[in-house]
């Protein structure tokens, strides 16, 4: 599904790509703007979505450029209607590194909130007096968008940023796999609670679906971590046996562990 994407251009050597479903989002908001404000409404809505996604890219660059400092390769940033996804070749297991990489994303949003505030505080205070499709309202909406993006991502729901920060904090004391297990478990419970609250209390079906997707993603990432951990232990055990065999002067005829999945 993630293959349905179009490469745009490179930023800091990282390929920026957009998933085709993103254009459905543009069409949806464009039509919404057109209905309420004709051509002006249409261009205002498209401009807001594009600027909002520029902020999403900046958020992902926050993660990516910090990750690169720790030697992680970042081949691509993919934009989806639900947000951005920086693709790392690996996730550092050192809690301090994961903490910094993860916190850098929301930190970009909060920096934008501070930078945009002088341009929009009057609009924010004046409430409904500002024209809907004005540039003043555009900046105010962008300010609000960054505040929400920063805060929403910090919810401790794994694998969202807040959940990853929670995992990194747990990993200071616990083994990495246990830390992932607990972060994913707490995340899944919270994702279900948030999904129910969004659907039944706020009547926000899209937010509900988003949390169900996060529930699934948390589960998938835990299983992926589990598999990788088993593989690593398998190869560590293999190399230990080889060394033992070599030290014993044997011809390394030690039978290999045939099932990497078992302990």
Give the residues lining the site for Zn ion (CB under 5 A): 105, 153, 161
d(CA 64, CA 74): 6
The values of phi and psi at residue 92, to 5°, are -60, 135
Question: Considering Cα of 62, then 68, then 72, then 74, what sign does the dihedral take?
Answer: positive
Q: 80 or 136, CB closer to Zn ion?
A: 80
d(CA 50, CA 26): 8
Q: CB of residue 96 vs Zn ion: minimum separation in angstroms?
A: 18
Beta-bridge partner residues of 83: 80
CA 241 to chain centre: 40
Q: Is residue 60 flagged as an active site residue? A: yes
Q: CB of residue 17 vs Zn ion: minimum separation in angstroms?
A: 17
Q: 97 or 161, CB closer to Zn ion?
A: 161
d(CA 169, CA 126): 41
Q: CB of residue 164 vs Zn ion: minimum separation in angstroms?
A: 8
Active site residues: 60
């Amino acid at each position: 599904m993630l293959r349905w994407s179009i490469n745009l251009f490179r930023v800091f050597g990282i390929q920026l790509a957009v998933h085709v479903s993103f254009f459905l989002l543009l069409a949806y908001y464009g039509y919404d703007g057109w209905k309420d404000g004709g051509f002006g409404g249409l261009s205002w809505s498209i401009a807001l979505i594009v600027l909002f996604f520029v902020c999403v890219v900046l958020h992902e660059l926050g993660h990516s450029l910090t990750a690169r400092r720790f030697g992680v390769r970042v081949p691509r940033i993919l934009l989806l209607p639900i947000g951005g996804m920086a693709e790392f070749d690996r996730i550092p297991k050192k809690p301090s590194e994961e903490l910094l990489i993860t916190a850098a994303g929301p930190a970009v949003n909060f920096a934008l909130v501070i930078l945009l505030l002088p341009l929009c505080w009057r609009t924010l205070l004046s409430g409904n007096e500002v024209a809907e499709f004005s540039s003043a309202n555009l900046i105010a909406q962008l300010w609000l968008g960054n505040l929400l993006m920063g805060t929403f991502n910090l919810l401790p729901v794994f694998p969202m940023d807040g959940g990853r920060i929670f995992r990194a904090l747990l990993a200071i004391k616990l083994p990495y796999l246990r830390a992932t297990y607990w972060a994913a478990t707490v995340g899944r419970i919270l994702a279900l609670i948030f999904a129910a609250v969004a659907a039944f209390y706020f009547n926000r079906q899209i937010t509900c679906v988003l949390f169900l997707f996060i529930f699934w993603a948390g589960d998938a990432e835990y299983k992926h971590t589990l598999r990788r951990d088993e593989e690593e232990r398998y190869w560590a055990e293999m190399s230990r046996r080889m060394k033992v065999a070599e030290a014993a002067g044997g011809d390394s005829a030690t039978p290999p562990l045939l099932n990497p999945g078992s302990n």
